[in-house]
Amino acid sequence: MPGKLKAKIVAGRHLPVMDRASDLTDAFVEVKFGNTTFKTDVCPKSLNPQWNSEWFKFEVDDEDLQDEPLQITVLDHDTYSANDAIGKVYIDIDPLLCSEAASVISGWFPIYDTIHGIRGEINVLVKVELFNDLNRFRQSSCGVKFFCTTSIPRCYRAAMVHGFVEELVVNEDPEYQWIDRIRTPRASNEARQRLISLMSGELQRKIGLKVLEMGGNAVVGYLQCFDLEGESGLVVRAIGTACTLDKLSSGSAPNTNTHVHPNTAPASNACNSPSKDGKEPVFGEDLPSFSGPPTPFRALPTSSSSPPPFSPSKPCSRQSSSSDTDLSLTPKTEEPLPVRCRPGIFLCPSSPTLSTDTLSLPGSGSVGCGHGSAPRATTPPPHSSVRSDSALLRKSVSFTEDLLLAASGMGSGGSAGKEAGPLKTLLRQQTQTALEQREFPFFTLTSFPPGFLVHVGGVVSARSVKLLDRIHNPDEPETRDAWWEEIRQEIKSHAKALGCHAVVGYSESTSICEEVCILSASGTAAILNPRYMREGCLDIGSTDHRFEEPSPPSCGFCHIPYDELNMPFPAQLTYCYHCRRQKVPDVLFTTIDMPPEAAVTGKGCLIQARLCRLKKKAQGEVNATAISNLLPFMEYELHTQLMNKLKLRSMNALFGLHIQISVGENMLLGLASATGVYLTALPAPGGIQIAGKTPGDLSNEHHILTIQKRINDTITKNKELYQINPPELTEEVVGSPIPEPRQRSRLFRSHSESSDELSELDLSHGKKDAFVLEIDDTDAVEDIHSLLTDAPPPTGFYSCNTEIMPGIYNWTTGVQMFTSVRVFRLSNANLTNQGLNKIFTDLCENLLKSFYFKLRSMIPCCLCHLNFTVAVPEEELIQVAVTAVAMTFDKDQTQEKPADKPVTKGCSETEEQLQFPLELCADSSSITTQTSSKISGVPESTNVSPRVSSLERSSPLPEGRSRSLRSNRSFGGSSVPVVKMTPLSFLPGTRIIKYLGIINMFFIRETTSLREEGGVSGFLHSFIAEVFAMVRAHVAALGGNAVVSYSMKECVLMENPNKNQAQCLINVSGDAVICVIETDQESMPSTINVVQTCSSGADGAT
Amino acid sequence: MAVELDVFVGNTTIMDEEVYQLWLDGYTVNDAVKVRMEGGVLEEFEASADVLLSDTMDQYRTFQMCERLLHSPAKLANQLLFQIPPHRQAILIERYYAFDDAFVREVLGKKLSKGTKKDLDDISAKTSVTLKSCRRQFDNFKRVFKVVEELKGPLVENIRQHFLLSDKLARDYAAIVFFANNRFETGKRKLQYLTFQDFAFCAGQLINSWTIGAVDNMVEDMDVDLDKEFLQELKELKILITDKDLLDQHKSLVCTALRGKTKAFNEMEANFKNLSRGLVNIAAKLTNTKDVRDFFIDLVEKFIEPCRSDRWTASDMRLYLTHYTNSAHILDTFKHQVVWDRYMGVIKSCIFKMYHD
């Protein structure tokens, strides 16, 4: 009986006119929680009613507190007929259940109706009194904190990172229940909203229980998704990373967040004193196959530790397509024992590759073998089976594993002894042990405390095509669980193949079309420092020392985690250009954010590969098979495109890689986005060379020359644009032991080109100079053209899909988050793949151009965290939804900082942290004083033309702010508190002082008067604006002034213009926070006080 | 192949002032795009026409959604749907309530009724202000009129507070409301040369001195209706022209003061009686609503035109009226000094303002 929930209805405003006769409304409110309902009095004839109700008290279980939302319904009293509903507010009270989050919810909430949208506002107060319940068998998990942020939240330090947690719940979708035929659309929408709210509460509670079991107190990188499976049901699933977080005292907190290196601070704290109180990892299940000490798993790592452990490149491995189970990894194999070929694995080596799907590419197997300068054994490919049917799938999976085992076993034997210092080996073993105990050593984090990430292997991914069962069956969760379990196993084995024991930056997604569902998972294989995983395994200080020595932070993560001699795939390795001690791959792909301490040259940029593939319409298994057959090709091509575009920009690494494959009735869409960077530690990319199929044909030759010239020009231009001028020194200095030619040849190999691999192979031997594109047919020409059509962002703009732009360090406070959606109708039924590709590419490019244009007043600015989501809502429609944030920066400083910063950082983190905030303060000294006004005003600078303020005056904020405050007042009424939103985990120039809880909201909007609402654009425009408004209102009611890690997970739009109808579902999430403008440390405490008072004051006021 | 849906929504609502103006001016999306292209945004920013079209549509939609709020500007500050920084809100409101002088000149003094609204297309054709913009402006007038009609307290202040307008704009609206309420005739050909600002100035004068509000500031409609008692008292001024002695005395006082100070002295002397009769008759007739409506016409016909045909300069006019007003104080038998000052103060400044080409 652990909780008493109290709610008070204060007032309403701007209510709609419900009585035409009087132009007024007789409003009253129903407050419902669980099965209990209270009502307020009717406030007659007013559009701005004052109810000032008593406190309505609900005595409830904490389990219910976690699952249920508080439901507030505003109605118009009608004496003679039924009362009309004006709208509802659902309030998630979860934030009140955690002592460290919000203590009261108080504020104006938009009254929302699924048919009419927002209709006025209501002022509500909610409190919870929680009694402690120490019952061990309790079903609730109150107090576990949830964060969408995929890094350690700013005001905490990670005492221990426990690992992966996942859960899913299934239910029938009310929209498909029989009753839906007889109820109104409003009732049906509300049933759905409520159900999803309940399900996500339940899901969160269950995950919380798992976390408690593991000994953690928080979930970081919490990612919750809905699968609307139509008739087969509704799945809500979530994954996250369980951690034990300690709150930093406010005094020490400040460093944390400079915007520059977001993570640094917390991280460092964490490092210095990781607390050891965490428990041993709770999870202990061993996988059977790996559990034995001599298990392969271990073995692999070991070998890697050894000197040349696996060396390959760190690259990216790519993904495998899952559907086929095979893994793909290319590389690794190799080595001493040529024998060892790895069977199923395909790693992709460094670069390129996509191996995964191998199946389909017959050539791939051969590729590996063919070239190796080293002996590579290669692997066969795989088997990829298509898998619509799960039985098949399973089979293939197991197959793979066996192979793996075999392979790894060998590997371990061979390499074990090599050079690695025993210590290192020991460390690794420990880590491994810790990790092995986990069923899935996965982490949803994308950025880490310094020292956490030791090496990065490359991207691993898996996809699987499933047929949704038509008949809903109550045991559903088990089926869905099993599906995901398979995929995760696959990911795990891919990682192992890359010599890595963990997967970071892990995420899962689905794409559903009718009864076919593609499940995808991807992440970055990595080797982690065991410190965070285990209690007391080593003295920290010394650990650091040891680790750091071999791999300085600015380049350590690039060093290959696998055994050089065992490289299974054709990657080319060189000595690290930064420390010159360890081997690095030629190209590195990852799904994580760039470690802040990494050394980069120049700036980064958004790189996208886009692809459309037509497929025949089909049903059931035939359809699933067709899709699985296509997947490998798509992955391969996306990969090739990425690789080419990367080279075209003269860069050598991708961060934040996200590949989405979306299925429609007659086509598949693939979109890969990542942020390209030139990592100083990696070798300079070779150029791109064009080769004709038929040498000798003169005109053709000429043509090729022209294209070649264009490519070379583009590369040169891009180098300038992104300021990539890797000191030629580097190359010379490096004097790498590995002769250049050799490198190149390897490079070359790994990427297979679009055409057939055999020819590639040949080329590799012949011209070692570069990445060769062969023009053998018109498709190839098109491909090359499309390469060149990506327009660079206009002057003053940068774009990336990671948290921040590598190479930009001095963010100012201008922030503009936006969501944009476009739907394109293909009218021509006879489109070819090429034509579709062009349309799709143009669609994406035009969207970007639109953003640049709209945000031009913010120049110089960077679009960060550009998150594209594609869908095929109907047969001839392509939908692209983008959420991103534009942030201004100070151009002048840009140049200087990058140079020293990364370097220094590595050396003395602590000092650095201290310095940094100080510098900032100096810039904006006056800010300090202003803090108080700021709070509510933080956002101010956000406006459309923030730049002016921030650039022109050294201390713009204050003025702007105070002015705005004043003017607010002059406007009379209670002005609305400003709430900033950002998809990033921080707001530049501010410090997060408190996390108030997770925001996870689901809305449905429907209309039967589409034309009157401005068509489908008008409908969606106002819906998105309404969603923003509701998110802001909830955050403000929690006492917050910003949402970080905001994302729009779902935006499903269905329209029927003929019937004048449309319906849209949107799911958004993020972390509500209080942040203050960054100041120096001395003033900290006072600042905080001020803030708190202010915010509470604000609460009262509103 | 077409873009079926295209939206862009910012957490802070993005509004381009140029596009806002085009929207206010009643341009269609396509026309607005043309104007913007000619304006050169494209070259400035290497954008294509598509980009411009998409941006313009987005903004138009945003403005349409905001329009409801702009109808009661106080709501804009505490609505939750759009996050708009306060200074921007102020700009939005100010621009929304701004009007074209050409348009207002046509409507000034007319009843703000449906009938007038039907004539808007003629006005639109005549002034080349788009019909859409005419409607917005007309509706704004009407909305302000309705709201302040029922309020107590100073007119300008009420408008400023309810519509969050700048002082200048609030005064203009006060003038419009005042003219509409009293239905002053402004459309006659002889009045065509007067601008809205001329009338607005006069309205300000009348509001300040001739309304009930000038004496009592807590009455309804205090700034909209003229002070009836005062109008009655104005009849007393007739003595200045009906009493022959007084008239002659007045004339000689004025002439003495003016002699040698202006080239138009002869004309002034010759016309004195006419002019004086003109002004005093206007005063005496103001109790009739009909004559109130013709106030400006009368001023022009009875006073301004004769002077103009005699080629008085503006400073002649100033000189004449100053002495004309002041001399009345010296007349022993003239007892209505207070009413005279209240009347002539306004007449003087109105005529100064109206005496131009």
Q: Which two tokens stand for residue B6?
A: 């295209």
Q: Residue A1092, exposed/middle/buried by CB under 10 A (0-12, 13-18, 19+)?
A: middle
- Does B240 share its domain with B339? yes
The total domain count for chain B is 3
Q: What is the mean pLDDT of residues A643-651?
A: 88
| pLDDT tens digits, one per residue of A1073-1101 | 999 887 644 344 433 333 333 333 333 33
Q: Do A981 and B11 touch (CB under 8 A)?
A: yes
Residue A716's pLDDT is 85
Q: Which residues of B touch A1057 (CB under 8 A)?
A: none
Q: How many whole angstroms separate alpha carbon A218 and alpha carbon A226?
A: 22
Give the pLDDT band of residue A319 (cuts 50, 70, 90): very low
**Minimum distance, in Å, between the CA of residue B32 and any CA atom of chain A:** 16
Q: Which residues of B touch A973 (CB under 8 A)?
A: 74, 77-78
CB pairs A-B closer than 8 Å: 171
Position B339 in a domain: yes
| pLDDT, chain B, mean | 88
Q: How many whole angstroms separate alpha carbon A373 and alpha carbon A334?
A: 11
Q: Which two tokens stand for residue A152?
A: 């350690």
Residue of chain B whose alpha carbon sits nearest to that of A943:
B12
- Find which of A1022, A1026, A1053 to mutate to test the B interface (most B CBs within 10 Å of its CB): A1022
Taking 70 as the threshold, does the pLDDT of residue A330 lie above it?
Answer: no
Give the pLDDT band of residue A269 (cuts 50, 70, 90): very low
Helix, strand, coil content of chain B in percent (nearest 5): 70, 5, 25
- Which residue in A110, A828, A853 is closest to B51 by CB distance? A853
Q: Are A332 and A498 in contact (CB under 8 A)?
A: yes
Residue of chain B whose alpha carbon sits nearest to that of A793:
B46
- Which residue in A822, A968, A980 is closest to B86 by CB distance? A968
B115 interface with A at CB cutoff 8 Å: no
B335 versus A677: which is more confidently predicted?
Answer: A677
Position B198 in a domain: no
Give percent of chain A above pLDDT 70: 62
Position B9 in a domain: no
- Does B89 share its domain with B105? no
- Please identify, among B76, B97, B118, the residue that sits at the C-terminal boundary of a domain: B97
**Minimum distance, in Å, between the CA of residue A874 and any CA atom of chain B:** 12
Q: Do B4 and A967 touch (CB under 8 A)?
A: no
* Least confident among A175-179, A388-392, A876-880, B192-196: A388-392
- Which residue in B6, B54, B85 is closest to A964 by CB distance? B85
Q: How many whole angstroms separate alpha carbon A562 and alpha carbon A458?
A: 11
B88 interface with A at CB cutoff 8 Å: yes
Residue of chain A whose alpha carbon sits nearest to that of B72:
A14
- Please identify, among B46, B63, B97, the residue that sits at the C-terminal boundary of a domain: B97
Q: Do A963 and B82 touch (CB under 8 A)?
A: no
- Does B243 share its domain with B297? yes
B62 interface with A at CB cutoff 8 Å: yes
Instruction: Look up the domain containing B116 and give its range.
Output: 101-191
Q: Do A13 and B78 touch (CB under 8 A)?
A: yes
- Does B266 share its domain with B302? yes
Q: Are A1011 and A68 in contact (CB under 8 A)?
A: no
Give the pLDDT band of residue A499 (cuts 50, 70, 90): confident
Position B268 in a domain: yes
- Does B187 share its domain with B106? yes
Residue A477's pLDDT is 63
The runs of H, that is alpha helices, within B150-243 are: 155-163, 167-182, 196-210, 228-234, 239-242
Q: Which residues of B touch A822 (CB under 8 A)?
A: 3, 5-7
- Which residue in A818, A971, A975 is closest to B9 by CB distance? A818
- Does B342 share its domain with B253? yes
Q: Do A818 and B58 touch (CB under 8 A)?
A: no
Q: Do A1032 and B80 touch (CB under 8 A)?
A: yes
Q: Do B7 and A972 touch (CB under 8 A)?
A: no
A960 versus A93: which is more confidently predicted?
Answer: A93
Q: How many whole angstroms separate alpha carbon A502 and alpha carbon A524?
A: 8
Q: Do A824 and B57 touch (CB under 8 A)?
A: no
A387 versus A1068: which is more confidently predicted?
Answer: A1068
Residue A554's pLDDT is 72
Q: How many whole angstroms separate alpha carbon A847 and alpha carbon A864?
A: 15
- CA-angle at A1074, arms to A1072 and A1077, nearest 5°: 135
Q: Are A607 and A675 in contact (CB under 8 A)?
A: yes
**Minimum distance, in Å, between the CA of residue B190 and any CA atom of chain A:** 43
**Minimum distance, in Å, between the CA of residue A797 and any CA atom of chain B:** 11
- Does B89 share its domain with B110? no
Q: How many whole angstroms separate alpha carbon B211 and alpha carbon B226?
A: 4
- Give the length of chain A: 1102
Q: Do A972 and B161 touch (CB under 8 A)?
A: yes
- Which residue in B5, B75, B87 is closest to A1016 by CB distance? B5
Residue A332's pLDDT is 33
| pLDDT, chain A, mean | 70
* Least confident among A894-898, A939-943, B289-293, B335-339: A939-943
Position B182 in a domain: yes
Taking 90 as the threshold, does the pLDDT of residue B8 lie above it?
Answer: yes
- Please identify, among B72, B97, B122, the residue that sits at the C-terminal boundary of a domain: B97
- Give the length of chain B: 357
Taking 90 as the threshold, does the pLDDT of residue A1046 lie above it?
Answer: yes
CATH of the domain at B301: 1.10.490
Residue B94's pLDDT is 94
* Least confident among A319-323, A490-494, A595-599, B229-233: A319-323
Residue A97's pLDDT is 83
- Which residue in A827, A940, A971 is closest to B2 by CB distance? A827
Q: Do B85 and A973 touch (CB under 8 A)?
A: no
- Does B82 share its domain with B109? no
- Does B237 share its domain with B349? yes
> How large is the angle between the packed helices B49-70 and B86-97, nearest 10 degrees?
80
Name the residue among A989, A1007, A988 with its Cα closest to residue A1056.
A1007
Q: Do A825 and B57 touch (CB under 8 A)?
A: no
Give the pLDDT band of residue A1062 (cuts 50, 70, 90): very high
Position B39 in a domain: yes
Give percent of chain A above pLDDT 90: 26
Q: What is the mean pLDDT of residues A183-191?
A: 89
A569 versus A480: which is more confidently predicted?
Answer: A480
Residue A388's pLDDT is 33
User: HSE-up of B157 (CA within 13 Å, CB side)?
Assistant: 11
Kindly list the distances between the CA atom of residue B150 and the CA atoms of A93, B145, B161, B166, in Å, as whole numbers in the listed order.
45, 9, 14, 21
Q: Do B4 and A825 touch (CB under 8 A)?
A: yes
- Does B61 share its domain with B143? no
Position B141 in a domain: yes
Position B265 in a domain: yes
How large is the ipTM? Answer: 0.88
A785 contacts: CB under 8 Å, gap ≥ 6: none
- Which residue in B3, B7, B77 is closest to A971 by CB distance? B77
B219 interface with A at CB cutoff 8 Å: no
Q: Which residues of B touch A13 (CB under 8 A)?
A: 78
Taking 70 as the threshold, does the pLDDT of residue A1017 lie above it?
Answer: yes
- Find which of B63, B80, B87 to mutate to test the A interface (most A CBs within 10 Å of its CB): B80
Q: Which two tokens stand for residue A427?
A: 């460390």
Q: How many whole angstroms separate alpha carbon A4 and alpha carbon A128?
A: 6
* Least confident among A84-88, A415-419, A573-577, B329-333: A415-419
Residue A780's pLDDT is 67
Residue A682's pLDDT is 86
Q: Which residues of B touch A1026 (CB under 8 A)?
A: 81
| pLDDT tens digits, one per residue of A228-254 | 888 778 889 999 999 988 887 654 433
Q: Which residues of B touch A1053 (CB under 8 A)?
A: 5
Residue B198's pLDDT is 92
**Minimum distance, in Å, between the CA of residue A940 and any CA atom of chain B:** 6
- Does B80 share its domain with B186? no
- Find which of A840, A842, A850, A949 to mutate to test the B interface (most B CBs within 10 Å of its CB): A850
Q: Do B86 and A1020 touch (CB under 8 A)?
A: no
Element (H, E) at A163: strand A156-171
Residue of chain B whose alpha carbon sits nearest to that of A111:
B80
- Does B92 share its domain with B107? no
Taking 80 as the threshold, does the pLDDT of residue A854 lie above it?
Answer: yes
| pLDDT tens digits, one per residue of A416-472 | 333 334 444 455 555 555 555 567 889 998 988 877 888 888 899 999 998 887 555
Q: What is the DSSP string of A409-468?
A: HHHHHHHTTSSS-HHHHHHHHHHHHHHHTSS--B---SS--TTTEEEEEEEEEEEEEEEP
**Minimum distance, in Å, between the CA of residue B5 and any CA atom of chain A:** 5
B49 interface with A at CB cutoff 8 Å: no
| pLDDT tens digits, one per residue of A655-677 | 999 999 999 888 999 999 999 99
Please report where in the chains the tokens 């534009």 appear, as a residue.
Answer: A886
Q: Do A14 and B75 touch (CB under 8 A)?
A: yes
A5 versus A770: which is more confidently predicted?
Answer: A5
- Which residue in B8, B83, B161 is closest to A850 by CB distance? B8
